[in-house]
Structure 1
Amino acid sequence: MTCAAYNHFLKAPCIDCGRAIFFAGIYRGDIVPSPYRQLLGIELDRLPSTLRAFHDVETSWRGEALFRVVRGEGWVRNLVAWLGGLPPSGEKVPVILTCTGAVRGGRRVEQWDRDFNGFRMRSTQWVWRGLLVESFGWLTLGYRLHVEPPGLRLEVSRAWVAGIPFPLFLAPTGEGLEVGDAHGMNIRVSAFAPMLGLIVRYEGRLNQE
């Protein structure tokens, strides 16, 4: 099935087929905005400079954090977290986050690489039908972005499992909140599963290197 057919019949986002080319700030003669800039436009400028720099990536962004990571209680929730590639619990977990801008098949994407003290969690983000789409492999989430100065809130409004659209009450979901100030950002990310509730939450202070 072609990418166009995939989008038409499944109504699911996919990154156009093609070799990834790391973005150097200029593409086909024009600056290609980040996914966040594409969606928010000048609304992004209402956020603190630290958040703007975080989400207006042209080449790459790298930051460090100490996060508190909490998994939901019980072996079932821990199994779901393990299957989902989510980080283990810990206090003051050192985290390195690297965001790299790329152009793939003519589409601007961002590769997010999170290192929780050696535990790696990767995802790819891009724009699709007014949503910020993030793929974690078998799970893909579509977020609505809400600018609430000095913060940015990410609200899950769509979900796909193995490329199949799922209603939110049946699909793994989550939420994110980023609050910026003059020196860095406070981050809180939560992941939930149907009937199980909280699977993992991580939060803490993130600063650009």
Structure 2
Amino acid sequence: MTPYAQVLGADLDRLPSPCQALHRAFGRFEGRITVKPAPFPALRFLARLMGLPAATRVAPLVLETAPSGQGACWTRVIGTQCTVSQQRAMPDGTLAEQLGPVTLAAKLVPDVEGLHLETAWVRFLGLRLPRLFWPGVQAREWAEGGLYRFEIDIRLPVLGTRLIAYSGWLDPLAS
């Protein structure tokens, strides 16, 4: 069972079909993505150190999800770039995703239109950060035209400056 399915339980059935298909089972999904980078070179460098993708405009996206230990491995291939993260369902009912030295846990908030993710806690190198140091994350997914759509915007704490933003679509119903 995927970590999303573990956390959502019966609420998974409330999501639009493309969202259900992506989160119900592991697989390979294809689509397109646009990545907007941080506005300053030092922040773009920081994002790259964390394993986040570089700027790209409407590039091919391949997402492969697979079981991994107690959770899942998400491998995103964006053009020629590869970003890998580990996800797991947490005992506190959140979904944790680890990307490099950062682990961000989110509360999944489903509705008939899709899913919103609300930051629940953040760890850096295993140490839990005070809320003041959490990145600002706006993340949502929904269905449109039979496709799974997503939009994520991550901003630095205190400053509010964009670290990365990306949006796009996947076709989880294609066979």
**Structure 1 length normalisation: TM-score?**
0.76
Runs of 4 or more above 4 Å deviation:
none
Write the distance in 1 (CA, Å) between the matches of 2:145 and 2:24. 16
Gaps of at least 5 residues in structure 1 are 1-32
1:4: which partner in 2?
none
Contact kept in structure 2, 1:50 and 1:182, CA below 8 Å? no
Contact kept in structure 1, 2:152 and 2:165, CA below 8 Å? yes
| Structure 1 residues 63-78: aligned runs within 5 Å | 63-78=29-44
- Of residues 143, 160, 163, the one that matches 1:199 is 163
Write the distance in 2 (CA, Å) between the matches of 1:163 and 1:198. 24
Contact kept in structure 2, 1:160 and 1:166, CA below 8 Å? yes
Gaps of at least 5 residues in structure 2 are none
Write the distance in 2 (CA, Å) between the matches of 1:45 and 1:63. 20
* Cα-to-partner distance string for 1:69-128 (whole Å, 9 max, x where unaligned): 1012112221221222111112111111101124x2xx3x11100011111111111111
Deviation at 1:181, TM superposition (A): 4.2
Aligned residues: 171
- Of residues 117, 131, 143, the one that matches 1:180 is 143
Aligned CA RMSD, in angstroms, stands at: 1.6
| Structure 1 residues 56-135: aligned runs within 5 Å | 56-57=24-25, 60-102=26-68, 104=69, 107=70, 109-128=71-90, 129-135=92-98
More divergent stretch after superposition (145-154 vs 79-88): 79-88
Q: State, as a whole percentage, how many aligned pairs show the same letter.
A: 27
Query: For the pair shown, which has the larger CA radius of gyration, 1 or 2?
Result: 1
Write the distance in 2 (CA, Å) between the matches of 1:189 and 1:201. 6
| Structure 1 residues 130-149: aligned runs within 5 Å | 130-149=93-112
Which amino acid counterpart does residue 124 of structure 1 have in structure 2? Q
